Amino acid sequence: MRSHKVTRGIDRAPHRSLFRAAGFHPEELNRPLVGIVNSANEIVPGHVHLDSIANAVKTGVWIGGGTPIEFSTIGICDGIAMNHTGMHYSLASREIIADSVEVMVEAHCFDALVLITNCDKITPGMMMAAARVGLPAIMVSGGPMLAGEHKGKKIDLSSVFEGVGAVYAGKISEEELEDMAARACPGCGSCAGMFTANSMNCMAEALGIALPGNGTIPAVSADRLLLAKEAGIKVMELLQSGITVDKILLPEAFDNALTVDMALGCSTNTLLHLTALANECGFRLDLNWVNEISSRTPQLCLLSPAGPDRIEDLGKAGGVAAVMKDLMRANLLNSTVVTVTGKTVAENLVDVEVTDRAVIRSLEKPYRPQGGLAVLFGNLAPEGAVVKQGAVSTSMQRFTGSALVFDSEEGAVEAINNGVVTEGSVVIIRYEGPRGGPGMREMLAPTSILAGMGLDEKVALITDGRFSGATRGASIGHVSPEAAAGGLIALVRDGDQIRIDIPQRSLTLAVSEDELHKRRDAWQPPEPKINRGYLKRYALQVSSAGRGAVLSDEINKKR
C-alpha cells in the first residue's frame, strides 16, 4: 500500500503522531487510506449539497474496509461568472483543480480516490488529476438539477439567458423575465440541460470512470446517495483487484466517449476537456478523429438547448447506459473495455433497455444521421473550430455572411443589444482564446440574446473563445490558432465575407492572399486584458484550444 509510506515503520512514528493529532485511531491507519476529494461550496448550485454526497461515499468506503479522508478543491459557477471578468478564471481553474488534487494525493500517499464533483471545469479537472496520479479512482457527480416550469413549459438556465434577449427585443416584459428567473432553477444540481456540466458527467460514465447512472440520476434523488455509497464500496474493490485509472482510460474508452457524445448531442466543451484528458493519458486526441466518429454515429437525443428534453427525461428513458446499449448493438462501441464497476462495458449493459423512444430515438429513426458535434477546418481555422451541429437549424448549415468584428465579448453584446447586428451578419468575437482572453471565456450572453431576439437562425457567431453548452444556433468556437497567437481570425475586418459549410466541415475567410499579407504586416497584438496574478502566468503557458488548452506544449502524439 502506498499509505504505508506514512503509516508504517519506526521512521514513521512522527507521521503517526500527526495522524493521531487529527483524531485518527491506530486501527484506521491499518486500513487503506482513500482520498475523498470534495468540491463542495456555498455558491455553486451544483455543489451546495456535495457534503451529503461525501458522507455517503465515506460510508461506502467504511463498508468496503477503507479509511476515508476528505479534502477539498475550488469550484466556479460558470453561470454566475458569465459575461464579466469572472469568466476569465473559469477554464483556467481546471488546471488549479487538477494540480491541487495531484499535490494532495502525492504529498499524503493515498491508496485510492473518490472524486466528488458536478460542474463545468471541476469534473474534467478531477478526471485529469486521476489520470495523472494513476490510482484506483471513481468519479461521482452530485447529479443534475430538475427542470423548472414557466407557463406550463419546462425551462432551465438557458431559458433565462434567452429571456434577456426577448426583453431587449420587446417580446416579454422585465417582470416576466424575473418570474422566469425565479422558476428556472428549482433546486440544487448541475443545470438541467445537456450543458457542459452534465455533458462531462455523462462523458465520465461513457469513459468508464464513473458508475452507471452518474450522468442522469437527479441531485435530489435518494438514488444519488445510494450511487455515492456504491462508489465508496467499488473503489475498495478496484484497489483490491488492482484496477487503476490507466487501465480504464485507454484510447478505446475515448472512442466510446466520443461516440456517446455524438449520440447525446453534448456541449462543444467536451472536446476541449476530452483532449486535455487524453493528453494526461499520454496520447493526442486528433480532431479529425472526432469527425470520423461523428460521421458514423447518429444523434439519438435532442436535449436542451437543442430540444425540449432535459437530463431528468434522459434518465427516465434509460440514461446514458440505454444510449450505449443501442450503440453497442450497432457495433459502434468497444464493449470489452473495463470500467470502474470491475466489469466490461458489455457486462454493464446486459439488463439495460430504452424505456422511452420519444427521448432516445432508435438508430433507424435518429434526430440526425450524424453526431451532435462537428469540427470545421479552413483558412480561418487551420487547426480546427467546433460547432454543436445538432443545435444548428437546417437553414444555417450552409451560410455566407458579412463579418462584424469585435475584440471582446462585451463589445459584441453591446452591439447586439443596440440593434447593430442584423440578419446576414457573421459576428466575430476574437482575443477571447486561452491566451488572448486570457482564459477562453464562454459566451452564453451573446448567443442567448440573439436567440431571444429570434436571430439565432439568421446570424452566425465565430470566436476563438468558447460557447456555453447552453448555446444553440450557428455558434462556432475554439477557432485555432487564436487571434492572440497570430491566427487568421486576428486579420478579419468588418464586411469580409465568411463562408460556413458545416456538412463539408469548412470555415473560410473569402479574402485574397495578397490582402491578407498586407494585413499581416500591419498587425500588432493588443495588450493583455489581464496582466497580473495567476492569469498572467496562465496566458504565458497555455496551448491552443485545438490541443485542449493545457499548460504544456509537450503533448504526446501516440495517436
| Residues identified as active-site | 468
Who's near 531: CB < 8 A, 6+ residues apart?
Answer: none
Burial code (b: 16+ CB inside 10 Å, e: under 16) for 433-469 equals bbbbbbbbbbbbbbbbbbbbbebbbbbbbbbbbbbbb
Q: Exposed, middle or buried by CB within 10 Å (0-12, 13-18, 19+), for 228?
A: buried
Q: Count other C-beta atoms under 10 Å from residue 275's C-beta.
A: 25
Q: Which three cell numbers stand for residue 328?
A: 453497442
φ, ψ for residue 237 (rounded to 5)?
-65, -40
> Is there a contact between 212 and 348 (Cβ–Cβ < 8 Å)?
yes
Who's near 16: CB < 8 A, 6+ residues apart?
Answer: 7, 26, 29
CA dist 495 and 166 (Å) reads: 27
**Nearest Cα residue to 299 out of 370, 389, 245, 349:** 370
Handedness of CA 91, 97, 100, 105 (dihedral sign): negative
Reduce the DSSP state of residue 144 to 3 states and report it.
Answer: strand
φ, ψ for residue 437 (rounded to 5)?
-55, -55
**Nearest Cα residue to 204 out of 214, 195, 196:** 214
Residues in the chain: 559
Reduce the DSSP state of residue 191 to 3 states and report it.
Answer: coil
